[in-house]
Amino acid sequence: MNKIRNEEGKKMRNEELGIRNKHFSSIIMLIFVYALIFVFGCKEPFSEIQHNELQPGMGAFSLSVDNARTILPNTTIDSFQVFTLNFTGTETLSVDRTKATRSDPVNLKAGNYSLTVTAYMDTAKTKPAASGSLSGIIIEEGKTTTNTIPLTPLGMTAGKGTFSWNIDFPTGLSKASMKITPVNTATGTAEQTLYFTGGAPQVNKTDSVELNSGVYRVVFTLVKDANTQAFTWRDAVHVYQNMTSVFNYTFSEKHFNNIKYTVTFVYNDGTTPDSMVNCLHGEKVKVPASPTRTGYTFDGWYTDNNSFLNKWDFDTALIGDIPLYAKWKQDPVYYVYNEPTWNEAVNSIKTGGNNKTHYIKVRNCR
């Protein structure tokens, strides 16, 4: 009898232990499920949240730099180390972005803004090189606005830049020189003649010189001997603040024997003097640096002035002297209103001047 009771007691204890083990397993499983929900249900719980969270009344702006319309010598967008974004309007804000973070959103109060972007060649922001601006930016609550801004050089009226050259010419010349003349004698570095051989001061075939920002005429003179007529070659260089403009060319025997032509670039901006470059018969004209003009966008070089029907193809072989005329498109003028009346908009456009393209941006129009 006692043996039967002991066996029954043992069986009951085993059943209780099994129940406890099942409860324990269920608890472990439940904890595991909750852990999975936490890990996979959260947005990257073990890293920083990547998206931009906007507070009530806030929007955001993301910068896009137009690389195709950026006019800079031997420079790409990634050459710039820092971009400073200065916002004015509903609030005033200045932020810096690196080349890696230039498109990161900037949080702003909802409203209307103007933006000026300055690009620097160094992280210390001591070498500003290009800038761009945009007005009429509308920041809406809870939304990110992206705008494209073309960058252009800071100008050629202040600061210094570098003119670098890498040239070659036949051996045995009695004289080889390069004369650098500023188009604007008031602001440019004074005219100077540098000698590769046969004079002083002497420079190397691969060398550089620092110049005040501006446009310069460059004339190369090569002389074989006293019985040979000197060969001259004209070109132009645009020197931008804190940047390097490079001239690469190889002079050979054919330059002494072939016919050369003169290409005259007419800028049509009311201020920049014409510039002339030489090209051998049958060769292609080198594409010059695109000019800039406040309030206008450059639209190419044409062989006919005023009508601008024949755009020059720089893949065309030159067979004579030609002038090339710059064509300009006037930038649109934007008028921005908050809940305007139609008469208010029309009257403002009338005072904005004639022969201009006007656009109206309206917020909260009912």
Instruction: Kindly state which CATH superfamily the domain 58-153 is placed in.
Output: Domain of unknown function DUF4458 (2.60.40.3540)
Per-residue pLDDT band for 57 (boundaries 50, 70, 90) equals confident
Ranges for all domains in the chain classified under CATH 2.60.40.3540: 58-153
Highest mean pLDDT among 32-36, 64-68, 94-98, 191-195: 191-195
Q: Is the overall model pTM greater than 0.75, yes or no?
A: no
Alpha-carbon torsion (229, 231, 169, 318), positive or negative: negative
What average pLDDT does the segment 274-299 reach? Answer: 87
346 contact partners, CB below 8 Å, separation of at least 6:
none
pLDDT score of 51 more than 90: no
Ranges for all domains in the chain classified under CATH 2.60.40.1120: 155-257
> In angstroms, rounded to a whole number, what is the distance separating the alpha carbons of residues 303 and 321?
11
Q: Please report, for residues 186, 214, 228, 326, the alpha-carbon distance to residue 183 in angstroms, rounded to integers and kept in the order given.
A: 9, 8, 30, 18
pLDDT of 178: 96
In angstroms and rounded to an integer, the radius of gyration of the C-alpha atoms of the chain is: 35
Each residue's pLDDT tens digit, 334-363: 555 554 555 555 555 555 444 444 454 544
Residue with tokens 């005023």: 306
Each residue's pLDDT tens digit, 65-122: 654 433 446 566 778 899 999 999 999 999 999 988 988 999 999 999 999 999 888 8
Instruction: Kindly state which CATH superfamily the domain 155-257 is placed in.
Output: Carboxypeptidase-like, regulatory domain (2.60.40.1120)
